[in-house]
Amino acid sequence: MKTTQISFEISEGILEVLNESRDQFVRQVRLFTALQLFKSHKLSIGKAAELAGMSKDRFLIELDNHTIALIDYEPAELEQELERFES
């Protein structure tokens, strides 16, 4: 798999305020980014778990920990899905 490096700078004061190491912060940023991209329907569960650097099972636990629904339909979308099963 081809990868790319993404980096950005933050002040060390942020790490101090959070009382986290650089590695802890990177893991958290990856997780929060993956959660948000999954929630906004930009990444599948598999790709979001990959971005977070964890298994799908662990990512499912994180979804629950952050009260993010695994299946999140708009009312109109849910109605369309249900109509497909009624046919």
Buried b (16+ CB within 10 A) or exposed e, 5-34: eeeeeeeeeeeeeeeeeeeeeeeeeebeeb
Position 79 scores a pLDDT of 79
* Domain boundaries along the sequence of the chain: 12-86
Position 87 scores a pLDDT of 64
CA-CA distance, 84 to 87, in Å (whole number)? 6
CA-CA distance, 10 to 14, in Å (whole number)? 7
Position 74 scores a pLDDT of 73
Spell out the per-residue pLDDT of the chain, length 87, in tens: 799 999 999 999 999 999 999 999 999 999 999 999 999 989 999 999 999 999 999 999 999 999 998 877 777 777 777 777 776
